[in-house]
Chain A
Amino acid sequence: MATVAAPTKMRISPLGRVEGDLDLHIEVRDGVVTDAWTEASMFRGFEIILKGKDPQAGLIVTPRICGICGGSHLYKACYALDTAWRTHVPQNATLIRNIAQACETLQSIPRWFYALFAIDLTNKNYAKTKEYDEVVKRFSPFVGTGYEKGVTLSGKPVEVYAIFGGQWPHSSFMIPGGVMCAPNLADVTRSIAILDYWKREWLEKAWLGCSIDRWMENKTWDDIWAWAEENESQHNSDCGLFLRFSKAIGLDTFGYGCGTFLATGTYFQPELYERPTIDGRNAALINRAGVYDGERFHDFDHLNVRESTAHSFYQGDTYLHPWEGRTDPIDPAEGHKQGKYSWAKSPRYEVPGKGPMPFEAGPLARQVNAGRQGAAKHQDQDPLFLDAVKKVGPSVLVRVMARMHEACKYYKLAQKWLSELQLHDNFYTKPVEHLSGKGFGSTEAARGSLSDWIVIENGRIENYQVVTPTAWNIGPRDAHNVHGPMEQSFIGSPIHDPTDPVEMGHVARSYDSCLVCTVHAYDGKTGKELARFRIGEMG
């Protein structure tokens, strides 16, 4: 009997490793994904809870949207109020907010890499590669040498967060007008020492095998490969091993995505943002905001952000700026009948002259925008990942490396800010709690741009809309049927072993979407679902 390439029968459910739930339907032909639908499958309704509440309720509620980047939620919720109430923020408070935001991200980098991303590298599908045994030794969950060190030491940067904020996750110590804490000398010196320990033990000894200054000399994608061969120490570091192994298993060859990158930026230059305003935001940022449409850069303007509900489980087909945004959920069973398939809305950015486009958010998006010319003296300018994207495109590997690259940069910034704290100056200026106002606050969570839009009327929240990096990345098709960035990333990606489609895991986790990801696969030729998770079969 002739062997016919049978349609791949598969369905991964669940794909796991981050928070929330995502179902991914994919269409597969001849071992390649030809279409994809990302479906966020959990809804709690935080924007509805916030309506009518105390204007400061977002400081308590929004960190609980995501415990992985709760500090980032607090940071932007606070700036939304700062802009709405027109507060004064002392320079010390800006420094502490910056330090806290950076420490959350420094925590996330090794924790995400080892616990969420790299354990897939130990997949048996890769057993034939020559680096495999070493990869298993380093990256196996719980017992891998790199895993254990990386995950355990990932708790260190958030010790610094706790020194200023009391605890991580879920403090609410940033408030309009500043921060609640007033650190003393030992708080600062201990923070310096903790970060230094983390840098030495994990970042330099385990991850890089060299000093952070040596790593920062890398300015092009080629530099990185030369770095990996420069000496034994770098070659055999976790980073060196990861680079070599990625090449061997092709992580540089798929997961491209939409090729457009948006960053709302984060960290403020203290003396430039004592009076936080929406208009003054871009100029005061240290990590710049920006929009790269695949050809050219544009300044970020929050007024160009829209959210589409065309394929989301909300009433109607709306396309609104978040200040006007609505969150009116419908039963998914009803939604499916209307062609809707996700709880995520589809954020789009109106690019001048081009109209609405989807954008990838995250470390790579930040680093691409960091490559734009014209940074002010206080701002980050870094050509490395713009070079990578132009040379080799935004693959799984490039996305991961952008994330890891940031560890060195944010470490240096955090230490600099610690050195600039003036312990005898103020950390807070009591604001006037205006009864009405509109605010916009935004930051870069570890995994991408995270923003709040608040409307306050009569001393209560009239409207509150949050646009998360996950929504930017995993949002469904918009009204024009344009795929979301992660949907685009799956398309064209290979699936070598239909019984263990680990490639889908790599793509999903390269974005660090905060969703548990489940994959439903369909036969691309017949449109029939290939395998179902049937409860009736159990027991």
Chain B
Amino acid sequence: MATLLWLQGGACSGNTMSFLNAEEPSACDLVTDFGIDVLWHPSLGVELGDQVKFLLADIVSGKRPLDIFVFEGTVIRAPHGTGRYNMFADRPMKDWVAELSGVANAVVALGDCACWGGIPATAPNPSDSVGLQYLKKNRGGYLGSNFKSKWGLPVINIPGCPCHPDWVTQILVAIASGRANDIALDELQRPQTFFKTFTQTGCTRVQFYEYKQHTHEFGQGTRTGCLFYEFGCRGPMTHSPCNRILWNRQSSKTRAGMPCTGCTEPEFPFHDLMPGTVFKTQKIAGVIPKDHQTGTGTLSYMAHAVAARIAAPQWTKEDMFVV
């Protein structure tokens, strides 16, 4: 049995919507079978008005123990550090976040916005948005580098725009079943069990990648080739299990022909979406990709590319995913 409170700041509700796609366990199973007591959720709570008011008061005062505080969306600080761009119950949401984080046993940042600011924090960051413990790559964020929840854990970051329902439900089940300390976090405080592998791990296009065969065009070309070379796919440099734990039980963006945008990494959206950067691989001298697979350099990339192209069998130049 564990109590859970879920609030949304500068959010789009995408993580909640994604969460509702869950199966095994489903959102309902979490409550009925795994004993997660959802004290309140902005989309799912049945209480309203005074009931929520008293509930929040009881949580902050410690009368009602809070095991898991889930926050979705950015912490909005504008204008001038007042937080008045995001009021919740007549009070800047940021003030609620500070108090609730202080009393929760574990604090979970759900989705890019809560982890590192996400799209709202893209330049010029009009809402002065920040993640719970990061702003983009910089540790600190709203709660500060030294923040630890009552169980002694830093904020658990479950990024993604949105995050996959399984990444959430499995972590919630782990916490609810007393395994919070088994959740090994990486240097960005993401659960390693999900974020050690790359988005490319399990991608159906990986053979094209290995032989350096690029997709020629969207739509027609997505039956063959790899999206990394021309279309800005960040699969080789992004940590996520998108191609191990499929989306909506069916597919992934890269499988469906959409380049990975790197949305589990703090820099998303990359290059601040400046002209010429959307769905286009950034290159040096118009030829060599600026960013390449984690751990490789330009020289090793080039050496590998030459060998791979020479070695490429004929089938890598043809449609693999045929009608």
Interface size class of B (residues with CB under 8 A): 35 or more
Alpha-carbon distance A5/B262, docked complex (angstroms): 61
With A45-B126, A516-B8 already in contact, the answer to whether A181 and B49 are too (CB < 8 A) is no
CB distance from A452 to the nearest CB of B (A): 16
Among B57, B90, B242, B263, residue most surrounded by chain A Cβ atoms (within 10 Å) = B90
- Neighbouring A residues of B247 by C-beta, 8 Å: 162, 166-168
B193 within 8 A of A: no
CB distance from A85 to the nearest CB of B (A): 13
- Neighbouring B residues of A424 by C-beta, 8 Å: 323
- Neighbouring A residues of B125 by C-beta, 8 Å: 49
In contact, B126 and A49 (Cβ under 8 angstroms): yes
Alpha-carbon distance A152/B165, docked complex (angstroms): 13
In contact, B50 and A12 (Cβ under 8 angstroms): yes
Alpha-carbon distance A46/B56, docked complex (angstroms): 30
- Neighbouring B residues of A60 by C-beta, 8 Å: 119, 261, 269, 273, 278
Which of A172-180, A231-239, A281-289, A407-415 makes up part of the contact surface?
A172-180
In contact, A54 and B253 (Cβ under 8 angstroms): no
- Neighbouring B residues of A45 by C-beta, 8 Å: 120, 126-127
- Neighbouring A residues of B78 by C-beta, 8 Å: 43
In contact, B20 and A111 (Cβ under 8 angstroms): yes
Alpha-carbon distance A16/B271, docked complex (angstroms): 36
B91 within 8 A of A: yes
Contact pick for A53, options B126, B252, B258, B273, CB 8 Å: B273
In contact, A44 and B129 (Cβ under 8 angstroms): yes
Chain A residues 43-60 with CB under 8 Å of chain B are 43-46, 48-49, 52-57, 59-60
Chain A residues 141-199 with CB under 8 Å of chain B are 141-143, 147-148, 151-152, 154-155, 158-159, 161-173, 175, 177-182, 184-185, 190
- Neighbouring A residues of B48 by C-beta, 8 Å: 12, 14-16, 500, 502, 505
Chain B, interface SS category:
loop
Mask, A29-68, CB within 8 Å of B = 1, is: 0000000000001111110110011111101110011111
Alpha-carbon distance A31/B28, docked complex (angstroms): 36
Tell me the nearest residue of chain B to A538, going by C-beta: B57
In contact, A329 and B85 (Cβ under 8 angstroms): yes
B61 within 8 A of A: yes
- Neighbouring B residues of A343 by C-beta, 8 Å: 85
B170 within 8 A of A: no
Contact pick for A178, options B126, B218, B242, B263, CB 8 Å: B218
- Neighbouring A residues of B74 by C-beta, 8 Å: 44
Contact pick for A331, options B26, B80, B279, CB 8 Å: B80
In contact, A142 and B27 (Cβ under 8 angstroms): yes
CB distance from B241 to the nearest CB of A (A): 13
Contact pick for A67, options B17, B42, B254, CB 8 Å: B17
Among B61, B122, B129, B223, residue most surrounded by chain A Cβ atoms (within 10 Å) = B122
A371 within 8 A of B: no
A93 within 8 A of B: yes
Chain A, interface SS category:
loop
In contact, A67 and B12 (Cβ under 8 angstroms): yes
Alpha-carbon distance A80/B253, docked complex (angstroms): 23
In contact, B257 and A181 (Cβ under 8 angstroms): yes
B18 within 8 A of A: yes
CB distance from B39 to the nearest CB of A (A): 13
CB distance from A236 to the nearest CB of B (A): 22
- Neighbouring A residues of B258 by C-beta, 8 Å: 165-166, 171-173, 180-181
A321 within 8 A of B: no
Mask, A334-357, CB within 8 Å of B = 1, is: 000000000100000000000000
In contact, A169 and B44 (Cβ under 8 angstroms): no
In contact, A331 and B84 (Cβ under 8 angstroms): yes
B318 within 8 A of A: no
In contact, B220 and A426 (Cβ under 8 angstroms): yes
Tell me the nearest residue of chain B to A67, going by C-beta: B14
- Neighbouring A residues of B181 by C-beta, 8 Å: none
Alpha-carbon distance A67/B22, docked complex (angstroms): 15
Among B10, B46, B125, B255, residue most surrounded by chain A Cβ atoms (within 10 Å) = B46
- Neighbouring A residues of B284 by C-beta, 8 Å: none
With A54-B278, A167-B251, A181-B257 already in contact, the answer to whether A61 and B273 are too (CB < 8 A) is yes
In contact, B256 and A165 (Cβ under 8 angstroms): yes
- Neighbouring A residues of B85 by C-beta, 8 Å: 42-44, 329, 332, 343
Among B42, B79, B162, residue most surrounded by chain A Cβ atoms (within 10 Å) = B42
Alpha-carbon distance A371/B323, docked complex (angstroms): 40
A116 within 8 A of B: yes
Alpha-carbon distance A182/B263, docked complex (angstroms): 23
In contact, B323 and A56 (Cβ under 8 angstroms): no
Tell me the nearest residue of chain A to B246, going by C-beta: A162
Contact pick for A44, options B10, B53, B161, B252, CB 8 Å: B10
Contact pick for B218, options A43, A53, A180, CB 8 Å: A180
- Neighbouring B residues of A426 by C-beta, 8 Å: 219-220
In contact, B20 and A154 (Cβ under 8 angstroms): yes
In contact, B21 and A155 (Cβ under 8 angstroms): yes
With A14-B42, A21-B87 already in contact, the answer to whether A66 and B13 are too (CB < 8 A) is yes
A514 within 8 A of B: yes
A206 within 8 A of B: no
Mask, A458-483, CB within 8 Å of B = 1, is: 01100000000000000000000000
Chain A residues 401-435 with CB under 8 Å of chain B are 423-424, 426-430
In contact, A180 and B90 (Cβ under 8 angstroms): no
In contact, B84 and A332 (Cβ under 8 angstroms): yes
With A56-B278, A152-B26, A184-B223 already in contact, the answer to whether A173 and B86 are too (CB < 8 A) is no
B60 within 8 A of A: yes
A122 within 8 A of B: yes
In contact, A49 and B219 (Cβ under 8 angstroms): no
Contact pick for A184, options B46, B220, B276, B322, CB 8 Å: B322
CB distance from A191 to the nearest CB of B (A): 9
In contact, B274 and A173 (Cβ under 8 angstroms): no
In contact, B119 and A64 (Cβ under 8 angstroms): yes
Which of A253-261, A266-274, A358-366, A529-537 makes up part of the contact surface?
A529-537
CB distance from A462 to the nearest CB of B (A): 12
Alpha-carbon distance A59/B161, docked complex (angstroms): 14
- Neighbouring A residues of B90 by C-beta, 8 Å: 13, 23, 518, 520, 532-533, 535
A119 within 8 A of B: yes
29 A-B contacts, Cβ less than 8 Å apart?
A10-B49, A14-B49, A21-B88, A42-B10, A42-B85, A43-B126, A44-B76, A45-B126, A48-B126, A61-B119, A66-B13, A67-B11, A68-B17, A90-B219, A122-B46, A151-B27, A155-B20, A158-B248, A162-B251, A166-B254, A167-B251, A169-B18, A179-B219, A428-B217, A430-B218, A514-B13, A532-B90, A538-B56, A538-B60
Nearest 8 pairs of A and B residues by beta carbon: A428-B219, A67-B14, A45-B126, A19-B13, A12-B49, A166-B253, A167-B247, A166-B256
Beyond known contacts A155-B23, A535-B95: 5 more, CB 8 A cutoff: A13-B53, A16-B48, A122-B46, A173-B256, A180-B256
Q: Which residues of A contact B (CB under 8 A)?
A: 10-21, 23, 41-46, 48-49, 52-57, 59-61, 64-68, 70, 90, 93, 111, 115-116, 119-120, 122, 141-143, 147-148, 151-152, 154-155, 158-159, 161-173, 175, 177-182, 184-185, 190, 329, 331-333, 343, 423-424, 426-430, 459-460, 499-502, 505, 514, 516, 518-520, 532-533, 535, 537-539
